Structure 1
Amino acid sequence: MTLHTIMPLELVLQGIQDEQSTPLHEITVKGIKMQVAPIAPGMGRIVRLLDCGLHDYLNPAYMPGTMIAYHNEN
């Protein structure tokens, strides 16, 4: 992966070594595979999109940090 940015490297990589306190789940909602941090049963905060169409990245409903409801299969 190549990252082109004018931001200092220290700022870009800030927090990369921090351990995630809760495990992340990979879920599929409306055909979009994403990684979420569970908040409550059936609710999570989107961390990143893993497999989707390019137009889905522009949809504010799937922005990282957005809360989303999903069916918990565990």
Structure 2
Amino acid sequence: MTLHTIMPLELVLQGYGEEGEPMLDVTAKGIRMLVIPVAPGCGKIVRLLDCSLYDYLDPTLAPGSLITFGFE
């Protein structure tokens, strides 16, 4: 892949090798998803892992939405 830009390389690659926030693989509302923990039992959705196609149309399951979950 070739990237043509006028930005300095240090700025383009800033944060490339760093680890992101810790994510949890949880099941909520019968859907398996990756979340970033915000508080105990609450998290911000990063991505849906195992769901039906119609679940992607649900605005409450959009990435960035907050969801409550419990460990079963």
Query: How many pairs are equivalent?
Result: 62
Taking a change above 3 Å as real, the CA distance of residues 55 and 72 of structure 1, as seen in their structure-2 partners, is same
Residues in 1 aligned to 2:4 and 2:67: alpha-carbon distance in whole angstroms: 31
TM-score for the superposition, normalised by structure 1 = 0.71
Confirm whether residue 19 of structure 1 aligns to residue 19 of structure 2.
yes
Q: Which residue of 2 aligns with 1:55?
A: 54
TM-score for the superposition, normalised by structure 2 = 0.72
Q: CA deviation at 1:9?
A: 8.9
Residues in 2 aligned to 1:54 and 1:48: alpha-carbon distance in whole angstroms: 13
Q: Which residue of 2 aligns with 1:42?
A: 41
Q: CA deviation at 1:58?
A: 0.4
Contact residue 32 and residue 52 of structure 1 kept, 8 A: yes
Identity percentage over the alignment? 47
Contact residue 45 and residue 65 of structure 1 kept, 8 A: yes
Residues in 1 aligned to 2:55 and 2:25: alpha-carbon distance in whole angstroms: 17
Residues in 2 aligned to 1:31 and 1:56: alpha-carbon distance in whole angstroms: 11
Taking a change above 3 Å as real, the CA distance of residues 15 and 33 of structure 1, as seen in their structure-2 partners, is farther
